[in-house]
Structure 1
Amino acid sequence: ASSYLREALEISLRYGITVYDSLFIAQARSLNVKLITSDRKQVEVAQDLGAETVLIE
């Protein structure tokens, strides 16, 4: 769990998004699963980091 938090903090600081949103990205990357969200910024960051995403509109 602490590894998620560490990565989420790094993502948050690098991209200027909340740690809360960054936690979902960190977990999706770690578990190699798609991130499904309606948050466009979160999708942009996740894709920049190589995570697969699905944007719900």
Structure 2
Amino acid sequence: MHYRRVLGIGLTAAGILGYFVGVYAAYPGRAFSLTLTMVGITLAFTTPATEAEL
């Protein structure tokens, strides 16, 4: 299983959700949603295609 890809997709989803919640309701730390999105996208797209490439 590509745990980095799954983690990346999860972080991206959490970051996007946090961003949209932050648009409607201000909460402390909402700027970290953009960081989560960037890190999630990076993890999702830098994961090798096959296990043999690890």
Range class of TM-score, shorter chain: 0.3 to 0.5
TM-score norm. by structure 2 comes to 0.33
More strand per residue: 1 or 2? 1
Greater RCO (CA < 8 Å, at least 6 residues apart): 2
Structure number with greater Rg is 2
